[in-house]
A and B are shown apart, each in its own frame.
Chain A
Amino acid sequence: MNDLLFYSVSSLGGIGLASAGMLFVASKKFYLYQNPQIDQVRDVLPGANCGACSFAGCQSFAEEVVKRQDLSELNCPVGGADTAEGMAEILGVEVSIQQRSVALLKCNGHRLVAPPKVEYQGVSNCQVSHALFAGSSGCAFGCLGDGDCVTACDFSALAMDQIKGLPVVDYEKCTACGACVKACPRNLYELRPIGEQGELLFVACSNKERGNFAKKNCAVACIGCSKCVKSAAQQEVAVVDFLSYITPAADLEGIGVALSDGCPTGAIFALGIDGVKERDEKRKIIK
């Protein structure tokens, strides 16, 4: 009985010791120096591996950060200010905190204001329907409502409004990772900085047709009337191809009210800006 115990303990222990020795030798011989900062940086990153930084994942972003020892051109939009500060602390460098960005949908042509003219029975996939036809409302620029962006969003920041048939962005949850920008076959999403109080000012339309054609399919289309250009500085608003574009640099507080209330079709969205009238969409609904 004692013999059995002795042999088994000593043989197993011996194997264990020998393996430990081999591992020790291997770890010394094949030791590869890795900057400990890489692991530290990776730990402060969100770990979503979403690719918003344009690197393959959080690990490769961390490697690049440590390699460059500079945060001026590297940014993790998902992590935001906390992550940037954390990385700066590890590297011991200064960082300017970038304003948080969100994705915004440049189309408001939902079912009530841009009623469907044809019924689409095919696959619910924007890329398929984009290749097949112009869209059920007839607008060849607007949202198809099949929800590729909702599927693409890793942060549950997008949801489909079942009545309107248009995706809705939750600006609180949105991390500006850009997945929806890539997913949309009609390039309807744009990333732009959002103010501290959630201020946003943008044209919710992408129709480049002449006003009368745009209006035919959608009551809230931008008709390119240029009224907005007159109430803003030159570098803030521009109308190209019958479509207005408000630059992210625009003074939101200064021109927001005038633009939003002045837009004859209600294509300009002003969110979180004081003094903007409640949008009366009922007026626009086409029966």
Chain B
Amino acid sequence: MKSAKSLSSFRLGGIHPPENKLSATSPILDLPLPALVTIPVTQNLGAPAKVIVKKGDAVLVGQIIAAAGGFVSANTHSSVSGTVAKITDEVDSSGYKRPTITIKVEGDDWIEGVDLSDALVTDLGLTNQEMMERIVTAGIVGLGGAAFPSHVKLTPPKGKSCDVLIINGVECEPYLTADHRLMLEQGAELIVGIKILMQLLNSSRAVIGIENNKRDAIKQLEQLLESESGIEVTPLKVQYPQGGEKQLINATIGKEVPAGALPIEVGAVVHNVGTIVAIYHAVMKGRPLVERIITVTGKKITKPANFRVRIGTPVSHLIEAVGGLPMGSGKVINGGPMMGRALTTLDAPVVKGSSGILVMDGSESIRREAVACIRCAKCIDSCPMGLAPYLLKIWGERSELERAEDELVMDCIECGSCSFTCPANLPLLDYIRLAKQGVGRMLRERSKS
């Protein structure tokens, strides 16, 4: 094990929030199926998917219920077997209504052609094209949170090549342990998945970046990789946001992605460990993305746990599984404490992009009163993208969008380090998001005209 000093990290900024990895030692449990699942039709970034089932249809696990609506889009599958109860607009985690398909759960019968055994399959002799087809059919999206369709990332633009595949096992969000448990329990599948991706991307090198607070996972993967070549494990300094795509590239291979560019510009492609295991299941087992691992945690939760959950399971079902909401709970957050958003209803379903459910006590979830900025520059020091958050906040507040654009507001990764570190409790990120929305709208209008 390397000493803490020699561990690599990203160049700029970063913070050290308390880790609180309460569920790190809880093995992944299979959550029993709920009575109803509400599956949002579109769970990916990009084009919306199109519903292809009707009310009253009988569906099997893994059956496509909404087809991808373009190249940058993904299929949505039924995660249970049963009957389509209704196709309506239902309230999602934000309170707004989105098109969803509600399925009455009647069993767990899978579609044909899915290998449900636990046996490790390392080679099926598939061609690259066959593998890509399987990934597209399985509706794989980035499980790290952004839910970007994975096949798009596996298709480098013309003239670009992937020199190094970077695997994101950082999990820098406090509290969350889903990826940690996945690496510990499904390391062998992960490595097969990495080989699939290396073959598809035609790259000879892969780097697994893991924060040094997951020593058991690092050790486990190093052991599994002893006889392999081309795949290396890089322990990284415990620092938030180590798992940001551009930060991880900087930390593992020392390159910096230019502003506004994609990682392929520096010859890198980044995938989350969860996504890679899902790709393994899709390619080697023919299994669509119908479940994911999710951490349910919180300081007052008696038994923080990691569950393997079917997509569409209501959050309330997860909270019941860990003993219900504790007294005095203030917020239930979808995601981690840094980037997650508070839920407005517990009926909201688990989607492909959900990585954790965090129950915060009323006393710790309070926003403290904002006071005047004292120009201490802590936000600038903490910003991993090298931006000036206090300034972006001002432009956002005043809707001075051109100035925000000049200050590169679109490079903000919304990690929340600035708001976390601000001694004046200023809502920096809220206004930066506002500025980003405005500038995004402005850029779209500009590209139209």
Contact = CB atoms under 8 A, between A and B. Distances in A.
B95 A122 contact: no
Main secondary structure of the interface of A (DSSP, over half): loop
A128 B96 CA distance: 15
Interface in B276-324: none
B296 to A, nearest CB: 20
Interface stretch (A31-39, A88-96, A129-137, A235-243): A129-137
Given A118-B344, A121-B366, A134 B427 contact: no
Contact of A131 (B91, B97, B397, B433): B433
Contact of B91 (A122, A123, A134): A134
Contacts of B91: 134, 138
Contact of B427 (A122, A140, A209): A122
Q: What bracket does the count of chain B residues touching chain A fall in?
A: 10 to 19
B437 A131 contact: yes
Contacts of B341: 132
Contacts of B97: 140, 209
Nearest to B427: A123
Contacts of A72: none
Interface residues of A, number: 16
B431 interface: yes
Contact of B434 (A118, A125, A209): A125
Given A118-B344, A134-B95, A127 B367 contact: no
Contacts of B367: 121-122
Interface of A: 117-118, 121-123, 125, 127-128, 131-135, 138, 140, 209
Q: List 10 A-B pairs, minimum CB-CB distance, nearest first.
A: A134-B95, A121-B367, A123-B430, A123-B427, A133-B95, A133-B94, A118-B344, A128-B430, A134-B96, A133-B344
Given A118-B95, A134-B344, 10 more contacts: A121-B367, A122-B430, A123-B430, A125-B397, A128-B433, A128-B434, A131-B433, A134-B94, A135-B95, A138-B344
30 contacts: A117-B344, A118-B95, A121-B366, A121-B367, A122-B367, A122-B427, A123-B427, A123-B431, A125-B397, A125-B430, A125-B431, A127-B434, A127-B437, A128-B431, A128-B433, A131-B434, A131-B437, A132-B341, A132-B430, A133-B96, A133-B344, A134-B91, A134-B95, A134-B96, A134-B344, A135-B95, A138-B91, A140-B96, A140-B97, A209-B97
